[in-house]
Amino acid sequence: MATKPKKAAAKLPAITDKEKTEHLAKVTLLPSANAATVVADYAKAFGEQDINALVVELRTKFDQVEGGDLQHCEAMLVGQAHALQSIFVNLARRAVNQEYLKNYETFLRLALKAQNQSRMTLETLATIKNPPVVFAKQANINHGNGNQQVNNGTPAPTTHAEKNITQPNELLEVQHGSETLDTRTAGAAIGKNPAMATVG
């Protein structure tokens, strides 16, 4: 009985150096690949990571966000806020036990930075859960030649930040890092110049 001849394995076309370079550039700029490399470096506590598996998993998370599902993002923010709170507590406790003022200040400054980051993370979460309401003002478009008056109601109230802006005072001048009143007397007025008189 004759045996069938084996089929030759299909040869893949050789990839040129230019194609390799272009492919590498595309992968390097992929957000999922970028995130995967960082996660792989920092997630070694969970074991050795596979970059390709991370890229695939990250793409599913990207698809969820694009579809409007922010549940995973919200969970991440809650987790980050708790992690930052733990960092704050750790550094604040270490600050108390410092003997030298410089070390105390360093630990306390880092603790307060972590606390601020935790607060900002929770603010971001609150914004995602309760996005600010935006009211669109009326658009009045005049196609004729006449004048048009647009009245969109009362002006917006002044914010707290705008109220605290101090206006410069022309009477103040800065001397050696401090502000003082300008005590110089005003110069004498310049008299009329007959050559510059109004033409009759």
* Within-domain flag for 185: no
Please report the pLDDT score of residue 55 as a whole number: 94
User: In degrees, to the nearest 5, what angle opens at C-alpha 54 toward C-alphas 51 and 56?
Assistant: 110
pTM, to two decimals: 0.56
Which of 28, 20, 73 has the alpha carbon at shortest distance from 55? 28
Number of residues in the chain? 200
* Within-domain flag for 92: yes
Query: What tokens were used for 128?
Result: 């995602």
Q: How many domains does the chain have?
A: 2
CA dist list (Å): 178 to 165, 173, 183: 18, 8, 15
Answer yes or no: do 56 and 78 share one domain: no
Summarize pLDDT for 84-135 with one digit per residue, the tens.
999 999 999 999 999 999 999 999 999 999 999 999 999 999 999 998 887 7
The parent domain of residue 115 ranges over 70-132
Please report the pLDDT score of residue 135 as a whole number: 75
* Within-domain flag for 115: yes
Answer yes or no: do 124 and 76 share one domain: yes
* Within-domain flag for 140: no
Please report the pLDDT score of residue 141 as a whole number: 65
Q: Which residues are registered as beta bridge partners of 180? A: 173
Please report the pLDDT score of residue 16 as a whole number: 85
| Average pLDDT for the chain | 80
pLDDT-flagged residues of the chain (< 50): 171
Long-range contacts of 121-128, Cβ-Cβ distance < 8 Å, separation of 24 or more: 121/77, 121/80, 121/81, 121/84, 122/77, 122/81, 124/77, 125/74, 125/77, 125/78, 125/81, 128/70, 128/73, 128/74, 128/77
